[in-house]
A and B are shown apart, each in its own frame.
Chain A
C-alpha cells in the first residue's frame, strides 16, 4: 500500500457506513440541545403567571438578599489537632507502603499511597519481579472498594449481627459436636500462611479437605500438566522470550492468568529500541474479538471447534516434523482445505522458531490443553518460554475436586462447610443445585466482604478485611513471596480467614504474629542474604516481596501416551451458534461488580459500560435483521437469558459472546447513580447486567465456557451505554469530511527500510501567531507509543483515582457525559469481518496554540509558562465554548454535582485535587499536582529536577510503559529523544495547534 492510498479507520459501523445519524452526532460536541422546549411546554411553568412588575420586584429582592448574604462570614471551620503527634509523620504528606494486589490472584506488587492515614491511590511497585511497576485497571480500583459503604462490618448469625466472642465460642462448640466431614471451599489461595492455617484446621478432622476452584477456571491447564508432565501446576509463561506467539482463545493481555506480567513480557518482546529491533510475531485464533486479538499481528477468526481442529492438525504436523509417531495422535483425521493450510503455515512458523515460540490456549478443555503441551514440548519450549521447574501458583482451582465436593454435599456427607473468597451460589453453572445441597449441611460458615449470594444463604457470615487493611502473603511463582501490609486501621469489625481459623483452634495470636511465625519457620531458612529474621522481615515488608531459594523439582519425561485427538462437536444446524463466555478486563469473574469505577470503565474493545450484552458479528446482525441494543433471547435448550445485542466487527459469524460477572446481587444500588431529577429514570431497580454463568457446562471433569445456543428476537430494546461514538474527531461532511490520520501504523519490513514509514505526511502549516512564546524553563510534554499501548485501560482508572474523576452512571454515559479524562480510542480498519484494530489513548493534548483558550470568555482556561493548558475550575462559568472548540474532544463538563457529601466512598478522594462541582469544565491537567510536588521536593533537597522524577498517574501504572512524560527543553530527557524519533507525530499537526502530547507510529509484522 503506498503512503498516498490512505487506510481508512473507523470506530463504529455507523462511522464506516457514514449514516446520517453519525454525521449529526459528529457535528455536535453536545448531543442534546438544552431542554428549553420541554420546559416551556410544561404546564406548571406557564401557569406561573409572572408580570413585569412582580419580576422586577423579585429581581430587586434577590439582589438585596445576595448583598446581605455576602456580608455574612464564611462558615466556621474547625481545626482539630491530634492529641499525640506521631513521630516522622507530617500531616498532609503522602507516604507509600509496598503491598500486594489482591484484585485477582495474579499477585502484582503495588505501592499504596496514604494521606493522613488513609490509602488514596494504588500504583505498581517498580521493584516487584513479576509486575515490574505495572498495574491493571482492577488493581487500581481496589482502593475504592476499601471504602465501599456496603462492605460487611460485623459478623452475622442467621442474618443478625453478633460479636466475635459469641461467634467464636459457638463455632468451636459446634465443631466439637460435629466431629468429622469438615470441608473448606475457597477460591485460589495464594497465601502460603493461610494455606498452612487451613491445613492445620482441617487436620483436626477425619474426612476433610480444602477445595479450591476458580469461577473462570484454569483447571484444565493444571490437569493437562499432571497428565503429561506429572505435576499439577500452572507453568510460568515467558512471553518476553518468545519470537512467535500463537494464542488460541487466550486473552493473555486482558484477563488470562496474569495479564500485567504477560503484558510486560509481551511488550519486552516487541520493542523497536534495540538493534536490531525485536518484534515477536503474534497470531491469534479466536471467535470473539478479545483485547489480545486486537493487538495481534494476524488474527484468524475461527469457531472454537474449528480452532480445536486446527490445533489438532498443527500438533500432527509438528509431530511429523519432529519425527514423533505416537499412536493416539495418528488417529486424528486430517483436515483439508483452508484450515489445513492455516495449520501448515502456523506449524512452519513455530518450527522455525523452535525453543523461542509459545502456544497458549484459553479453553478449559483438558484434551486441548494436552495438545498444547505436546506442541510446546515438540517445539522444545519447556524450560525456555514455558517454565515448569519454577511454576506459577497464581491459579490453583481444581474442577474435579469441586464436583466431588458437590456430590458429597448432595449425599449429605458434609457436616460443616467453610466458604471463603468464593461465591458458588452465583458463579457455579447450577446455583439452585448448590443452594439445595447447602441446606443439607448442618453448619455453613461464609467468609465474605459483602453479603453476597452465598453469604446470604449461610448460617454464619464472617466479614473479611479488605486486602489494604490486612497482613498477608502470597507465593506467586516458586521462590517468590509477596507481602501485604495494612495501610489503614480496620474500618469494620472484621478479620482474616487465617485469623478466624487459628482462633477456632484455640490460637489467639494476632494475625500479624501468625504470619510472622510462618515466615520465620518456613521462608526465612530458604534465603541466605539476611542473618537475622527481624532484618529479613523488615526488608521484606519494606520491599513488598522476598526472593528465596526455589524448591526445584525435576520434570519427568513427557508422556506422549496421554495425548489424544480431541473429539470435536461441530455446529450442526444453521440456527446453532457457538457461545463463548469471557471475562471483561474490569469486572473479571464478577468479584468486582460492586466497584463503580470498574463498572463505568469502557470495555477496551466494545467500549460499552454498565452492562453485559450479546456480541454478534455485523454480518450475522444483518442476516438476522437486528440492531444494536435489540434484546435477544439466548437459549441453550435448558436455560435462557435475555440480553441486548452489541455488534462487534471482527467477530466470527457463527460465534456469539457474553461476558460473565454481571447480574450480581448488590449492584441494584447503581440504578440510582446519576441525577435523579429532571431526567427520566427506569422505575425498575435491577442489578447491572445478567448472569451468564448458567451457560457454563460441566464437560466431564472440567467446566467449559463454550456452549451451543439458539437466538430468538423478543422485540424489546435496551440502549447500551457505549462510548465508542462519543467524542469522535471525524470531520463532518459539511466541513469537508476528509479523513485525517489520527492513528498511524506501518509494517516492520517498511520500518526497517525507512524508520519514518507510515509517518510521511506533508501539509502546509499556516501560522496565525506572528511570534511564538518561548518556553525558557520547563516545557512539559508527553509521548505515547502506540506500538506499546495494548489498550488495557489501566491508565483510565489510574487517572480517575488520582484526579477525583467522578462516576456518572449508565444514564449519563448514554448521554455522552462520561467524565474520564483519558479515553482510549479504538479504531478499526479493513473489512468489517477481518478488522485490524488500533488503540490510541487520548487526553488533553495541551496545545501550545490551544483553540479552547482563545474562546473562553472568562479566562478560565489559559496557558502556563511551562506549556500546560490549565483549567481553572473556580473561574469557569460553564459556557462550554472551550469543549465546542476543542479539536480533540477531551473536555468534560459537569452537568450535575456528581459528588455527594457525607459518603464513606469520599475517603478515596485525593485531598490535593479540587472536586469539581456542577457547571464546571474539566480535563487532563498533566497531573500538575505531581509536577508541583516533585518541584517542591527537588527544591527542599536542593537538587535540580531529574528526568523521570515526575511520573504522571497514567504513565506510572502503564503495564506496557507506553507513556513517557518529561521536559522537552531538557535535551537529555527521554521525551526530547522521542520527539526527535522518526516515528513521532502529533495529532492534527496540519492544524498547527502545536500539541505537546505526541504519539509514536505503531509497527506490526506483516499480517
Chain B
C-alpha cells in the first residue's frame, strides 16, 4: 500500500514539474544552441526604428545603403545621421513645448538637445552652440552591438537578395514597429534553405521566376 502511495506522489509531482517547466519555457523562450531568436541587446544609443522607419517613413536603404550595393547592409556612418540631425536636435514635441514656453516668457528659444543625440554629437564632434561640425572634437566611434550575426563560415550577400526583390522584413521582421531591434528570425540553415526551396517552387509569389541555388558552396566557402 505504502509503495503505491509513494508511486502516486512521485507521478503527481513529476507531472507538476513537467507542466511547470513547459509554462516556464513558454514565457522565457529557450533556443537551441547557436540560435539567438529574440536577441535584442541594449544599444549605445537608443535609436528607434519605430520612429524613423515607421512614423517618419524613411526608406531602409537610405541608411543601410550597402544592402543593394554589396554584401554588407552596413550600419550607417555617423555622417549619414548628421544629414538630418545637424538640424534636428530633439523630438518635435519637446521643441514645441520649449517654443510655447519661450513665447510665454518672452525670450528667445533655447536649443533643446536630446540626451541620446548628445551621444551622437560627441562622437562626431558637433558643436551645438555654433551648430557646426568640429572634427577635432570628435571622440570617435559609436560601438553598436550586432543583432544579426551569421557565423564566419557563412557567406551572405545582401545585394543579391535585395536586388532579387526580397523585402527587408522577410528576414528582419517588422523593424518599422520595433523600438529596439530584435532578431526576428532564427537564421538557421534550415530557415535559409527552406526559403530558397520555396522560391524555386514558386511558393512566394513576389519572387516568381527566381531560382536560388541550394548548393552548399553558394554560402559556404
Q: Does A768 contact B (CB under 8 A)?
A: no
Q: Is A749 among interface residues, defined by CB-CB distance under 8 A? A: no
A74-B149, A932-B155, A940-B159 given; A81·B77 CB < 8 A: yes
| A51-73 at interface with B (beta carbon < 8 Å) | 70-71, 73
Cβ-closest chain B residue relative to A927: B221
- A594 to chain B minimum Cβ distance, whole angstroms, is 29
Instruction: Write the nearest CB–CB distance from A974 to chain B, whole angstroms.
Output: 23
Q: Are the CB atoms of B163 and A940 closer together than 8 Å?
A: yes
**Can you report 24 A-B residue pairs in the complex whose CB atoms are below 8 A from each other?**
A70-B33, A73-B36, A77-B149, A78-B144, A80-B141, A80-B143, A83-B124, A84-B78, A85-B79, A92-B66, A864-B215, A864-B216, A864-B217, A865-B213, A865-B215, A868-B217, A870-B215, A870-B217, A872-B220, A874-B220, A914-B221, A928-B221, A932-B157, A939-B163
Instruction: Establish whether residues A928 and B144, one from each chain, have CB atoms under 8 Å apart when the complex forms.
Output: no
Interface check A862, CB cutoff 8 A: yes
B102 neighbours in A (Cβ, 8 Å): none
**Which residues of chain B are near A928, meaning CB under 8 Å?**
217, 221
Q: Look across to chain A and name the residue whose beta carbon is closest to the beta carbon of B75.
A: A81
- The answer to whether A71 touches B70, judged by C-beta atoms less than 8 angstroms apart, is no
CB distance from A844 to the nearest CB of B (A): 12
Complex: A449 Cα to B182 Cα, angstroms: 49
Q: Which residues of A contact B (CB under 8 A)?
A: 70-71, 73-74, 76-85, 90-93, 862, 864-866, 868, 870, 872-875, 912-915, 925, 928-929, 932, 936, 939-940
Q: Which residues of B contact A79 (CB under 8 A)?
A: 75, 143-146
Task: Tell me, rounded to whole Å, the shortest Cβ–Cβ distance linking A951 to chain B.
Answer: 17
A929–B149 CA distance with the chains assembled, in angstroms: 20
Q: Which residues of B contact A76 (CB under 8 A)?
A: 41, 145-146
State how many angstroms separate the Cβ of B218 from the closest Cβ of chain A.
7
Docked CA distance A74–B152 (Å)? 13
Overall SS of chain A's interface: loop
Interface centre among B80, B144, B217 (most CB of A within 10 A): B217
**CB proximity to A under 8 Å, residues B192-219:** 213, 215-218
Q: How far is the CA of A989 from the CA of B78 in the complex (A)?
A: 59
CB distance from A40 to the nearest CB of B (A): 34
Give per-residue flags for B154-165: 1 if the beta carbon is below 8 A from chain A beta carbons, else 0. Answer: 010101100100
With A76-B41, A870-B217 known to touch, is A936 a contact of B149 (CB < 8 Å)? Answer: no
* Chain A residues within 8 Å of B218, by CB: 932
Which of chain A's residues have a CB closer than 8 A to the CB of B108? Answer: none
Q: Report the bound CA distance from A81 to B123 in whole Å.
A: 11
Q: Which residue of B lies closest to A869 (CB)?
A: B217
Assuming the contacts A929-B155, A929-B221, asked whether A936 and B160 have C-beta atoms less than 8 A apart, the reply is: yes
- A92 near B72: Cβ-Cβ < 8 Å: yes
> Looking across the interface, which residue of chain B has its beta carbon closest to that of A935?
B160
B215, A91: Cβ atoms closer than 8 Å = no
Write the nearest CB–CB distance from B83 to chain A, whole angstroms: 11
Known: A90-B70, A932-B218. A83 touches B30 (CB 8 A): no
**Contact partners of A90 in chain B: CB under 8 A:** 66, 69-70
A81 touches B78 (CB 8 A): yes
Rounded to whole angstroms, the CA-CA distance of A23 and B72 in the bound complex is 52
Apart from A84-B79, A874-B220, 16 more pairs, CB < 8 Å: A70-B34, A74-B36, A74-B149, A78-B144, A79-B144, A81-B77, A81-B142, A92-B72, A93-B71, A864-B217, A868-B217, A870-B220, A872-B216, A914-B220, A914-B221, A939-B160
Q: Does B115 contact A (CB under 8 A)?
A: no
When the two chains form their complex, are residues B220 and A73 in contact, meaning their CB atoms are under 8 A apart? no
A85 to B146, CA, bound (A): 19
The reply to whether the CB of B140 lies closer than 8 angstroms to some CB of chain A is yes
Q: Interface residue tally of chain B, by bracket?
A: 35 or more
Q: Which residues of A contact B145 (CB under 8 A)?
A: 76-79
B23 contacts the other chain (Cβ, under 8 Å)? no
Within the complex, what minimum Cβ distance (angstroms) separates A774 from chain B? Answer: 15
CB distance from B136 to the nearest CB of A (A): 13
In the complex the two chains form, what is the Cα distance from A733 to B36 in whole Å?
Answer: 55
For residues 62 through 82 of chain B, which have their beta carbon under 8 Å from a beta carbon of chain A?
66, 69-72, 74-80
Nearest Cβ in chain B — how far from A942, in angstroms?
10
Chain B neighbourhood of A92, CB < 8 A: 66, 70-72
Q: How far is the CA of A925 from the CA of B145 in the complex (A)?
A: 33
Given contacts A78-B143, A92-B66, contact A936 B159 (CB under 8 A): yes
Known contacts A913-B221, A914-B153; is-contact A80 B144 (Cβ 8 Å): yes
B151 at interface, CB cutoff 8 A: yes
Contacts of B160 in A (CB 8 A): 936, 939
Interface: B138 (CB within 8 A): yes
Residue of A nearest to B139 (CB): A83
For residue B119, give the distance in angstroms from its CB to the closest CB of chain A. Answer: 13
**Would you call A870 and B33 a contact (CB within 8 A)?**
no
Given A873-B153, A936-B159, A83-B79 contact (CB < 8 Å): yes
Question: 10 closest A-B pairs (Cβ-Cβ)?
Answer: A70-B33, A85-B77, A864-B215, A90-B70, A870-B217, A92-B72, A874-B153, A82-B77, A92-B71, A81-B75
Chain B residues, CB < 8 A from A925? 217, 221
Residue contact A91 to B72, C-beta cutoff 8 Å: yes
A74-B34, A940-B163 given as contacts; is B144 within 8 A of A873 (CB)? Answer: no
Shortest distance between the CB of B220 and any CB in chain A (Å): 5
Interface string of B119-131 (1 = CB under 8 A from A): 0000110000000
A859 nearest CB neighbor, chain B only: B216
- Closest B residue, CB atoms, query A868: B217
Chain B residues, CB < 8 A from A74: 34, 36, 149
A83 B78 Cβ-Cβ under 8 A: yes
In the bound complex, CA of A928 to CA of B163 (Å): 21
Complex contact A84–B77 (CB within 8 A): yes
What's the least CB distance linking B186 to chain A, in Å?
A: 13
With A85-B77, A870-B215, A925-B221: A77-B153 Cβ-Cβ less than 8 Å: no
